[in-house]
Structure 1
Amino acid sequence: MVVQKESVIIDDLIKQIIEKRLPPGAKLPSENELAEMYDVPRITVRNALLKLEERSYIYSVQGKGRYLKEKSIPIQLPLTGKTSFTEKMEKMGYDLRTINISCEKITYDPKIYEVLQASEVDTVYQIGRLRLINEEPIAIHYSYVNEANLPTIEEDGPSILSMFAYYREQGIQRFTSRKTFLSVTFPTSKEQQLLACKSMVPLIIVESDCIDADSQSVLEHTKILYRSDKFKYDITIDI
């Protein structure tokens, strides 16, 4: 019965959010007020609010109360490998900052090695970058590259912020891609720290590849994890 009452509160508040009866940034009634409104014990209200906070519908400010999350920032989601993420974000006027978070060899992964047309004896590196817009972490970008194609990647990798810029330094100027796949996952503890999100916040996964348009050789396999709570993604326009 307690779980059912929690669900009633959660469902009702989500409905109010969807119907805009609770506008972005609005302060929620106190636990005592909600307990009286729903005729339940205060602990039931608290548990319901904690679940809404875990899903990132609301957030709490110590000593002030709980608030509905602010309006999502609209972001155009890159779905092709023709233009870099950095170039797209800058072209659209977003305040983008990138942090290199990793450059490491990966263990053999049949899927990634097949995409990269790498043999089992080849060395594949993962180059990770954290993307922030308006200083809010939006995404983690992982690029998987074959050392056989980029012999200095171990040395260069830790300083790479844009793979496209790096490829241009190597003399590659035009890019394309093949298939793009979208899926959903939940963040690991490490990803929660990097993206400053809760464990129940869904992440949108975009997987694709990047190809040298002139030689048609595969440059990288790309996996991007996007936060779904702070941003609203537009996938209808390709720039």
Structure 2
Amino acid sequence: MDDLIQQIIEKKLLPGSKLPSENELAEKYDVPRITVRNALIKLEERSYIYSVQGKGRYLKDKSIPIQLSLTGKTSFTEKMKSMGHDLKTVTISCKKILFEPKIYDILQAKETDTVYQIGRLRIINGVPMAIHYSYVSEHRFPTIKQDSPTIHSMFDYYRQQGTERFSSRKTYLSITFPTLEEQHLLSCNSMVPLIILETDCVDQDSNSILEYTKILYRSDQFKYDITTDP
């Protein structure tokens, strides 16, 4: 398995190419066929390869490069448009959340305030690649519940509310593995790590908090440029 991964890294195996059969690999590495099969299953679980019934296994196509700006000045929608990708956004949830100190503290909300979670699935070039959760205080945006089904870009929504310049104070990156629901939404298996980006969005002119954001990215579909904006 490690040797095949190294061949992929060194581009000795190219995207879309067919892998040798289990028998051929067993003979090449002088191991039982079950050992080869287990290695290939793990490579498939990690999204290096995919199977075609009756035809064999193939190396997956190249991932899509994406720039992740950690300053919060540019929206995901704007990034995708600037790179010429076909982006579709589907609202998957709009619900009140229970009091959670971390989120309420970031939003500078009172315990009695209502906070909504707006969930949106990002589909790029026909492939589901990210889930965006925006946490917004109803006190700050009184019509957020009614408006949420039509929101494709939170930055565009905030512009409609009078905010023009955006920034962020803190941004955190971490890794998790998808739940069953996230596997279903992102069309991935349980072994595909998800990159979690957590940040806030601030009205740069008034220095007021607009939202707390949690984004789940499929790690097998992106290359990450985490260079901050100047």
TM-score, structure 1 normalization:
0.91
Q: What are the within-5 Å matches in structure 2 for residues 63-212 of structure 1?
A: 63-212=54-203
Deviations 1:202-235 (A, max 9, x none): 1111111111112111010011111111221222
Aligned 8 A contact 1:78 1:85 in 2: no
Distance 2:32 2:46 in 1: 22
Q: Which residue of 2 aligns with 1:236?
A: 227
Deviations 1:127-167 (A, max 9, x none): 01111211111211110011111111111122211111111
Greater shift, 97-106 or 32-41, is seen at 32-41
Distance 1:164 1:199 in 2: 32
Instruction: Tell me whether 1:57 sits opposite 2:57 in the alignment.
Output: no
SS of structure 2 residue aligned to 1:183: strand
Distance 1:92 1:15 in 2: 29
Deviations 1:52-72 (A, max 9, x none): 100111111111100111112
Report how far residue 38 of structure 1 moved: 2.2
Ranges in structure 1 where 5+ consecutive residues have no aligned partner: 1-9
Distance 1:26 1:165 in 2: 41
Structure 2 residue identity aligned to 1:227: R
Deviations 1:22-54 (A, max 9, x none): 122221111111122222222221111111100
Q: Which residue of 2 aligns with 1:48?
A: 39
Distance 2:152 2:159 in 1: 13
Aligned 8 A contact 1:76 1:237 in 2: no
Structure 2 residue identity aligned to 1:86: T
Instruction: Tell me whether 1:23 sits opposite 2:22 in the alignment.
Output: no
Report how far residue 124 of structure 1 moved: 0.8
Greater shift, 14-23 or 96-105, is seen at 14-23
Structure 1 residue identity aligned to 2:94: C
CA RMSD in angstroms comes to 1.4
1:37 to 28, 44, 51: 28
Distance 2:30 2:225 in 1: 41
Distance 1:148 1:91 in 2: 33
Report how far residue 238 of structure 1 moved: 3.0
Distance 2:222 2:53 in 1: 24
Runs (4+) off by over 4 Å: none
Aligned 8 A contact 1:27 1:65 in 2: yes
